[in-house]
Amino acid sequence: MDGFVYMEVGLDRVRGSGKHLQADSTRHSSVRGVSPPKRGTATQGHLLNWVHCLIRLPKMNSITPSESAITVFPSGRPLGAEIRGVDLRAVTDADFAAIQKAWNDHSVLLFRGQQLTDDDLIAFSRRFGDLDWPPIQETGRRFVEGYPEIYVVSNVIVNGEPIGSLGAGEATWHTDMSYLEDPPKASMLYALEVPPSAGNTYFCGMCHAYDSLPDALKRRIEGRLLKHDGTYNSGGFVRQGVTAVDDPVTSPGAYHPLVCTHPETKRRALYLGRRRNAYVQGLPLAESEALLDELWSIATREEFTWHNEWQVGDVVLWDNRCTMHRRDPFDPNSRRILHRTQVKGETRPTA
Ligand code: OGA
Ligand code: MN
């Protein structure tokens, strides 16, 4: 691509939907779906009212790979970008290549205004790889009927039984399913119903967190393994089939390197999973706790975060290998329903 984006404008108004085309030159637009009036059609009569031209604008931060009409709007934070100009039910190969590049660049992607069935959500998720099955819900209930790949995140109660996980309280910082030996590389949440306010989801960038560690701290954690607890989910609920153990040394879980190398970007990332019952192998418990507290206080600094204020139709895709996330509580009397998929990692977390 030549480093420019093109915006079609009329003399007295901008054509196309306001969502994709904005007169504000700090925004960048693609021209898919916008065509000048055709000759010989009813619009010809209006041609005198229009002076059409394509304005050529420098690209600045946006990425618009050739053949794809998607546009990337970086959040300006260490992670997070919104992708516009794509219907996730019809993603071309060129769009997908652009999405993958944006995902590697920004770790978390937001797609607004989507209209997906569970089949559509699964089909788009599968572009990234095979899907993992999610954990069994706290209630022992499993999955959406017929869709074992879907994890329901919801506070809604039907016939006295929650239809999903995590309730309406805070979900504390975590990485999905890292208590497994082979955790999923990606998760994708699709918002079906959202409360009028709150319930925002925050993400933090673990490559930035690692890069910002003092050298002495980097040396202390080099080569160390960390236990990722399998007792509690991020809502504080004990997982199905697990007897709660509150000793980090003996609690169930998987050990992973405390610093991992991202298999695609090759960047190094802190890999913390979740704080509760975490344990740095080989250290006295008190020393492990102090080290983890220090690492966590850096990793979750506000400056390393980006958050989404959910709207119905939002899809958020994140990279579990280099981000963590948490959720604010929300009014338990309001309804929130999101469906999640998770994509298998090709490799285990590796130093
Ligand atoms: C998840 C999760 C947070 C939320 O689905 O993995 O942590 O915003 N959800 O509900
Ligand atoms: Mn999660």
The SS3 assignment for 96 reads helix
The one-letter code for the residue type at 110 is: L
Residue range(s) in the chain whose domain bears CATH number 3.60.130.10: 109-344
Q: Give the Å distance between the CA of 278 and the centre of ligand 1.
A: 20
What global pTM score does this model have? 0.81
Report the top-level CATH class of 109-344: alpha beta
pLDDT on residue 50: 30
Q: Give the Å distance between the CA of 219 and the centre of ligand 2.
A: 29
10-residue block means of pLDDT along the chain (351 residues)? 34 31 31 32 33 39 66 97 98 96 98 98 98 80 81 93 92 95 97 98 97 97 96 83 86 95 98 96 98 97 96 98 98 98 96 97
Q: Residue 330: nearest ligand to its CA?
A: 1
| Alpha carbon separation from 130 to 50, 201, 215, 343 (Å, rounded) | 50, 25, 38, 6
Residue pair 46/37 in contact by the 8 Å Cβ criterion: yes
pLDDT digits 0-9 by tens, 257-305:
999 999 999 999 999 999 999 999 999 999 999 999 999 999 999 999 9
Q: Residue 188: nearest ligand to its CA?
A: 1
User: Which atom of ligand 1 is the closest one to the Cα of 338?
Assistant: 10
208 lines ligand 1 (CB under 6 A): no
pLDDT on residue 66: 62
pLDDT on residue 135: 81
pLDDT on residue 140: 65
Q: Give the Å distance between the CA of 273 and the centre of ligand 2.
A: 10
Q: Give the Å distance between the CA of 91 and the centre of ligand 2.
A: 25
324 lines ligand 1 (CB under 6 A): no
pLDDT on residue 245: 80
User: Which atom of ligand 1 is the closest one to the Cα of 336?
Assistant: 10
